[in-house]
């Protein structure tokens, strides 16, 4: 059997702080919702931006890939033609060796030239100004 003294009776402090705590909890939940919405909006904007850019550059990427493939095939045919031409003057294995060494020397020269053209030190790359739509958002806690 429960008596009136066994039951928890709210004290005056509890009666005063409960509405304040409820209001604080409400504000915190609203702030969480605003932050969650702002983050979701940012993620959606970035996703749309990436998809838009990918669609715009897709034809160029396909064209550059095809050009790279055709260039590799062309270089291979040049090398084969050089080996076949030299094979008339010397043994085939020697012609292949000479053409291979010539190609390796050309690649080493191109790599050395490219390395010499690299900027020295740690270059600072400027960050372009962004026109991202998410930058126009209002601060999530601003009422």
Measured in whole angstroms, how far is the alpha carbon of residue 2 from the centre of its chain?
Answer: 66
Q: Give percent above pLDDT 70 in the chain.
A: 76
User: Which pairs count as long-range contacts for 100-104, CB under 8 Å and 24+ apart, including other chains?
Assistant: 103/79
Q: Give residue 101's pLDDT.
A: 92
Mean pLDDT within 58-66: 89
Q: Give residue limits of the domains in the chain.
A: 19-116
Mean pLDDT within 27-52: 90
More confident residue, 18 or 141: 18
Q: Give residue 54's pLDDT.
A: 81
């Amino acid at each position: 059997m429960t008596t009136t003294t066994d039951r928890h009776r709210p004290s005056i402090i509890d009666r005063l702080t409960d509405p304040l705590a409820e209001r604080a909890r409400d504000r915190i939940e609203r702030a969480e919702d605003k932050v969650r919405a702002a983050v979701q909006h940012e993620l959606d904007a970035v996703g749309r931006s990436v998809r838009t850019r990918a669609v715009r550059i897709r034809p160029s990427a396909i064209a550059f890939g095809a050009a790279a493939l055709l260039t590799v095939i062309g270089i291979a045919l040049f090398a084969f033609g050089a080996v076949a031409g030299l094979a008339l003057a010397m043994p085939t294995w020697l012609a292949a060796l000479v053409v291979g060494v010539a190609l390796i020397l050309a690649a080493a020269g191109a790599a050395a030239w490219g390395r010499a053209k690299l900027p020295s030190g740690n270059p600072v790359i400027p960050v372009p100004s962004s026109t991202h739509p998410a930058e126009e958002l209002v601060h999530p806690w601003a009422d």
